[in-house]
Amino acid sequence: MERADQFIGQSLAFLDAVERASRAAPLNRPVLVIGERGTGKELIAERLHHLSSRWAGPLIIMNCAALPENLIEAELFGHEAGSFTGAAKTRHGRFEEADGGTLFLDELGTLSMPAQDRLLRAVEYGEITRIGASKPISVDVRIVAATNENLPAQVDKGKFRADLLDRLSFEVITLPPLRARQGDVPLLAEHFGRRMAVELDWPNWPGFTPRALAELEAYAWPGNVRELRNVIERAVYRHEDPERPIDEIVYDPFHSPWAPTGRDAAPHAPPVASNESEEAPVAVAAAAPAATSDFRAAVSDYERQLLEEALRRNRFNQRATAAALNLSYDQLRHALKRHKLQDSAA
Quickly state the pLDDT bin for 5 (edges 50, 70, 90): low
Bridge-based pairing state of the strands 142-147 and 137-138: unpaired
Q: How far apart are CA 71 and CA 8, in angstroms?
A: 37
Distance CA 69, CA 251 (A): 35
Partners of 104 in the β-ladder: 61, 144
pLDDT tens digit sequence for 62-116: 999 988 877 888 889 988 876 776 676 888 889 999 999 999 999 999 999 989 9
Q: What are phi and psi of 273, to 5 degrees?
A: -100, -20
Strand pairing class (137-138; 59-63): unpaired
Query: Which domains, from first to last, does the chain contain?
Result: 12-176 (3.40.50.300), 178-253 (1.10.8.60), 273-346 (no CATH)
pLDDT tens-digit series, residues 206-231: 999 999 999 999 999 999 999 999 99
pLDDT 10s digits, 256-293: 878 787 665 555 444 444 444 444 444 444 444 556 66
d(C-alpha 223, C-alpha 217), whole Å: 14
Average pLDDT, the chain: 86
Residue 165 CA to residue 330 CA, distance in Å, equals: 48
The reported pLDDT for the residue numbered 236 is 97
The separation between CA 196 and the C-alpha centre of its own chain, rounded to angstroms, equals 18
Q: What's the pLDDT score for residue 292? A: 63
Asked whether the predicted pLDDT for residue 40 surpasses 80, the reply is yes
pTM: 0.72
C-alpha–C-alpha distance, residues 318 and 212, integer Å? 12
User: Using CA atoms, how far apart are residues 284 and 247, in angstroms rounded to an integer?
Assistant: 28
